Amino acid sequence: MENTAQTPKALTSFLNQNTFAAFSAIKLNENNYKTWKKQALACIKVNKFQSHLDPRMVPARFSSESDRHEGIEAQSYTNWEVQDQCLVAWLTATMESNFVNRVIEVKSRIKQLKTQLKTLKKHGSPVTEYMAKINQVADALSALGAPLTKDEYIEAALGGLDEEYNIFITVATARIEETSESEFESQLLAQEELVDKFRRTELGSVQANIAQREDTPEKFQGRGFNNYRGGFRGSRGRDYFRGTGRSTWWQGSRPQCQLCENLAIQ
């Protein structure tokens, strides 16, 4: 297999050129990952370091078992490691000093951010405000080299929605593989409008029922009037309508079944 790795000499010439300074203008922090990423990728492509982004492209450390036992590294691996450490040094130089300190503890920071992501809840706040918090944590994870996948991003957002979004959660989960992040946010905004509309309609209905009840005379709100199913329960009302025959008045007052034409059982 042909060794395509650059030699340390070629790498040293890279460091001595103005390329390094030209691609170091933007310093990485938690708020500018996407901009910084464009700068970093441009520098990596110009210097043909793309293989360092793919773990499958790392050359074998030892050429044979005997070299492994004797600790003799293959030259191709040595050259690759020099390149890789140089790239690490450049990437570190393009980070803000306070951000470098966080990268040192990157694992604990990633764990902290993922825990924070799970605790984010909408709690009645606008969707735009809720998604802004989700995106802020997602950007911070990306800056630490642990970007969320599309599915993880959508699942995190669904996890913090209120109960009134249960139907939306079910549908969105079923379609998660075919939905992009931007499409999901648009669908969530549309669902918010439907939820708000339903809430206003329901509130109006409740207010109308309360107003109607307040207008009903007290004599029609008693126990006997509303409880006619028991035969106007009371000391005098229990047997009032009982007799040997069926009362035609009682028949006319009860609804009739449209299927069997008998009196409906209430």
- Convert the pLDDT of each residue in 135-158 to its tens digit: 999 999 998 888 999 999 999 999
Average pLDDT, the chain: 75
Q: Which residues lie closer than 8 Å to 116 by C-beta, 6 or more apart?
A: 137
Run means of pLDDT, 10 residues per run, the chain, 266 residues: 44 54 80 88 85 85 86 91 86 84 78 92 92 94 88 93 91 91 94 84 58 56 47 44 44 44 45
Q: How far is CA 250 from the centre of its chain?
A: 60
Beta bridge partners of 161: none
Q: Output the six-digit token pair for 40.
A: 């970093």
Give the C-alpha separation, 253 to 257, whole Å. 13
88 contacts 20 by C-beta, under 8 angstroms = no
76 contacts 59 by C-beta, under 8 angstroms = yes
Q: Which residues lie closer than 8 Å to 151 by C-beta, 6 or more apart?
A: 176, 177
Give the C-alpha separation, 217 to 20, whole Å. 87
pLDDT digits (tens, 9 = 90+) for 24-64: 788 888 888 888 999 889 888 888 888 888 878 889 988 98
Q: Count H helices, E strands: the chain? A: 13, 0
Q: Using a pLDDT cut of 90, give the percent of the chain over it.
A: 28
